[in-house]
Amino acid sequence: MKEKIIMKRQNRWICLGLTALTAAAFLAGCGAPASSSGGTSAGNTGPDTSTALAGNTAADGGAGTAAEDAANMEKITELTVYFGDDGAPFPMHLYDNDTAAAIARYVGQSSWRLPIYHYDDYENWEVMQYYDIPGRYEIPENPEEVTSVEAGSVYYSEPNRILLFFHDAEISAEYTPVGYFEATDEFVEAVEENPVLEGWGNKIVRIRQ
């Protein structure tokens, strides 16, 4: 009789031990899985997500993801441009393409103040101006052949250059369309009369959301 009681107790402890091991294995399986690339779970942010949108500032609060920021910027249909630091604002209407969306996204992160180093010493300066964008901004392009341009047309050209035609023109080039201005008399005058910065020898164009 004593042997039977001892055997029953041993069997009970063995069953309890197996049950504990099974529970531990189950709990371990519920932990955060490693990513397929060997990293941590998707909730952790790595260097790729932290730099997805170059130029982000602390003003974001880190609340939105890169995808959400990009989606919000895609809704922008126009930017505001000033010819000169004290110039009047003019809306630049944007086309629905990747080039215009990238420019709008970057301007939304930080307004641009671009110097115009050359404004009267290059071919076609009487009908167009160009503004160089810092090389740290990566802007996609999809150039197309352009032969006839209407006043107010805006294009993108490598390397990181925005071109504005403020008069009609006949040309032969490949540019990516970005948008357009309403070519009113006030607009043309603002472009042509943009003052030279005193002591600097260049002009300024400001672009903001």
pLDDT in tens, 136-169: 999 999 999 999 999 999 999 988 999 999 999 9
Q: Which domains are assigned to the chain?
A: 66-208 (2.40.100.20)
Per-residue pLDDT, 21:
39
Convert the pLDDT of each residue in 8-25 to its tens digit: 444 444 443 434 434 444
Spatial separation of the C-alpha atoms in residues 132 and 205, rounded to whole Å = 11
pLDDT band, residue 66 (cuts 50/70/90): low
Higher pLDDT, 28 or 132: 132
